[in-house]
Amino acid sequence: MPRKLLFEPPRLLSEDQLGRIHEAAVRILLSQGLRVRSPEARQAAARAGLRVEGERVFPDAATIEQLVSGTRAEGQGRARPEPGEEEPHLVITVPNYQEFVHDPETDDVVPYTAERLIEATKFVDAMSDWGVIGAAPGIAPEIPADLQQLHQYWVGARFSRHGSRPVDARSPRALPYAMDMAEALGHPYRYHAVYVVSPLSLGGASFECLRAVEGRLAGVHVSNMSSVGGTAPVHLPAALALGAAEVMGAAIVVAAVSPLPVGWSIRVCPFDPRTMAMTLGSPEDLLFQRASDELNAWYHGQEPGPPAGLLHTQAKVPDAQAAGERMCQFTFGALFGARHFGGGGTLSLDEVFSPEQLVIDCELRDYVQHFIRGPELDSDVEAWVAEASEGLEHGFLALERAAAEYRRIYWLPRLFERRAFGAWQQSGKPRLRERAKEMVRERLRQHSYQLDREAARELDRIYARAQQDLASA
């Protein structure tokens, strides 16, 4: 029976530090308030008893405490699942934000077209039996802006078995049609995310989407992605305090606007002022994400759970930087209990999708999965002695037991090179990236998924209606 390797993540923030961060967050929110761009939302906040001055809404201390105590009570009543004894299984998910695709044939990064998006979606679907979940890995900029989200969902549903995954709400005009598509596929969109515009501002597409479809939802979640040193202080505790202030303020205003249940969470992200870009995938990202997890758990009255498994890099093509950063994220995440890793195949944070990188990601994942599985350990001394004696007499490679169990005990890579130099040289000196490209071609040839005909007709009908309505609006 393998002995699984699982470590308890270290605690970065003490109970005292968490309390001080909350104290600072309350003071920031009381003194600065929250900028609310929508006049209707400000009016709703005023009707709820919140102080409004110009565009800023100021929750009082009692309202903040009521939010926190309610969140903590709800969290304490929700038990965390205990880790099971089953063999660890790491899953990769592919996001859908990318506007560019890395062409493995030319090694160029090019904008998506509708045709390229369909091909990339077929490839992602063909990776399903390698533990990959995903649909359309991006949007096609050539499609009109209000239709991009709907086209993406249509492509994902038509060409991927995971195409009914949650809708990504980006356009208030398009979201109702996307919700109709999700309904037609039997996976309705019921929980909506509203993102704070850091620092301390509520507005933008996600908030407008809430107002457009509120009557069809069952709940709302408010979150942020503030940049430490960019849209938040460079000192981590101060950044967490500002992040908590803006998310709590936004949750209070959203609750005043909407009767739906409102959840909330905080995330602070690393930022490089030299490039003016977020540096997800960096060492700071692992630390800041863990600190965010601890603060969220404190607000919810729970112990922090496993980290969110995320794969990020600012590398633009598959290279040593991409492999190194992602291997660190796989290893630390899996050792600390993460089992799902988002960001599969993405480069340049979330701008580029690379089929070649996704193949490499699967190889890295398989390496780490075998490692955390642990070694085979039993207690049969007699069997050990018998195996040693038989091997010494006949040679260990000739043993029937070795042949039967080799594939179970050892990880056999699909991609990494294991031969000696001479054998590699005689085989034509193959390069890893060339083998990865051939795997992309092979997997794409194997794509065979087709959406049920009735569901496809309904999906086509909704998309055609959206094309007509949004084009004429």
**Mean pLDDT along residues 31-45:** 97
H-helix segments, 374-447: 381-394, 400-409, 421-426, 432-445
**Mean pLDDT along residues 215-225:** 96
Q: Tally Cβ neighbours within 10 Å of residue 16.
A: 8
pLDDT digits (tens, 9 = 90+) for 287-297: 999 999 999 99
pLDDT at position 6:
80
Please give the Cα distance from 301 to 68 (Å, whole number).
10
- The CATH homologous superfamily to which domain 1-377+413-473 belongs is Trimethylamine methyltransferase-like (3.20.20.480)
DSSP state of 214: G
- Burial label for 367, CB within 10 Å (0-12, 13-18, 19+), is middle
pLDDT digits (tens, 9 = 90+) for 151-195: 999 999 999 999 877 777 788 999 999 999 999 999 999 999 999
Strands 219-223 and 268-272: unpaired
Q: Return the C-alpha torsion angle 276, 355, 138, 224, nearest 10.
A: -40
DSSP characters over 241-287: HHHHHHHHHHHHHHHHH--S-EEE---EEEEETTTTEE-TTSHHHHH
pLDDT at position 168:
75
pLDDT at position 165:
74
Please give the Cα distance from 264 to 428 (Å, whole number).
56
H or E stretch including 28?
Answer: helix 15-32
- In this predicted structure, the answer to whether residue 440 has a pLDDT above a threshold of 70 is yes
Three-state DSSP state, 213:
helix
Percentage of residues in the chain having pLDDT higher than 90: 81
Least confident of 111-115, 165-169, 301-305, 437-441: 165-169
**Mean pLDDT along residues 402-430:** 90
pLDDT at position 91:
96
pLDDT at position 128:
96
Average pLDDT, the chain: 92
Q: Where do we find the tokens 């038990």? A: 79
pLDDT digits (tens, 9 = 90+) for 83-111: 555 667 999 999 999 999 999 989 999 99
Percentage of residues in the chain having pLDDT higher than 70: 97
Give the closest residue to 353 by CA, choosing from 379, 375, 322, 380.
322
Name the pLDDT band for 82 (thresholds 50, 70, 90).
Answer: low
pLDDT digits (tens, 9 = 90+) for 444-456: 999 999 999 999 9
Token reading at 190:
């019921």
Radius of gyration of the chain (CA): 25
Higher per-residue confidence, 247 vs 212: 247
pTM: 0.93
Higher per-residue confidence, 11 vs 407: 11
Q: With contact defined as beta carbons under 8 Å apart, do 263 and 36 qualify? A: no
Please give the Cα distance from 210 to 255 (Å, whole number).
12
Three-state DSSP state, 202:
strand
Q: Which residue type, as a one-letter code, is found at position 3?
A: R
Q: How far is CA 75 from CA 71, 264, 302, in A?
A: 6, 12, 7
Name the pLDDT band for 335 (thresholds 50, 70, 90).
Answer: very high
- In the chain, where the domains are located: 1-377+413-473
Q: With contact defined as beta carbons under 8 Å apart, do 185 and 161 qualify? A: no
Please give the Cα distance from 414 to 435 (Å, whole number).
9
pLDDT at position 405:
83
| Residue partners of 429: CB distance under 8 A and separation at least 6 | none
Q: With contact defined as beta carbons under 8 Å apart, do 44 and 257 qualify? A: yes
Token reading at 146:
């209000």
| Residue partners of 331: CB distance under 8 A and separation at least 6 | 368, 371
**Mean pLDDT along residues 318-329:** 96
Give the closest residue to 99 by CA, choosing from 143, 41, 64.
143
Three-state DSSP state, 53:
strand
Give the closest residue to 120 by CA, choosing from 142, 148, 98.
98
